[in-house]
Amino acid sequence: MFVLELTYCAPAEQIEALREAHMAWVDEQFQAGEFIASGPKKPRDGGVILAAGADRDRVEAIAASDPFAQEGVCEYRITEFTASRTVPSLREYRQSARS
């Protein structure tokens, strides 16, 4: 499981100009089963995405394909973690703890 944290690094006008393309990209990743949650940070200086079912190289490639990343208006911080506990409705995403 991966947490993708986006931090904006460009003026708001540049972010807004790319928002529609970014949201279409997010929708594609949900449809492909790559993402399981996403939303803006508070304060709204970026966003957070929860990705499952992929290895780190794949997640990095997916992040690099984001129109925000391609246009250089955000930076990604990617953190891998083991989702050893979940609410019952997310049971399918549980992972065995690694030693």
Report how far residue 52's alpha carbon sits from residue 75's, in angstroms, rounded to the nearest whole number. 20
Distance CA 2, CA 36 (A): 10
Distance of CA 58 to the CA centre of its chain: 12
For the chain, the helix, strand and coil percentages under 3-state DSSP, each to the nearest 5 = 40, 25, 35
For residue 99, the model assigns a pLDDT of 43
| Phi, psi (deg, nearest 5) at residue 29 | -70, -35
3-state secondary structure (DSSP) of residue 34: coil
pLDDT, residue 68, reads 98
- Which pair of tokens denotes residue 50? 């929860």
Report the chain (99 residues): mean pLDDT per 10 consecutive residues.
97 97 98 96 96 90 98 97 91 78
pTM: 0.91
Q: Phi and psi for 19 in degrees, rounded to 5?
A: -60, -45
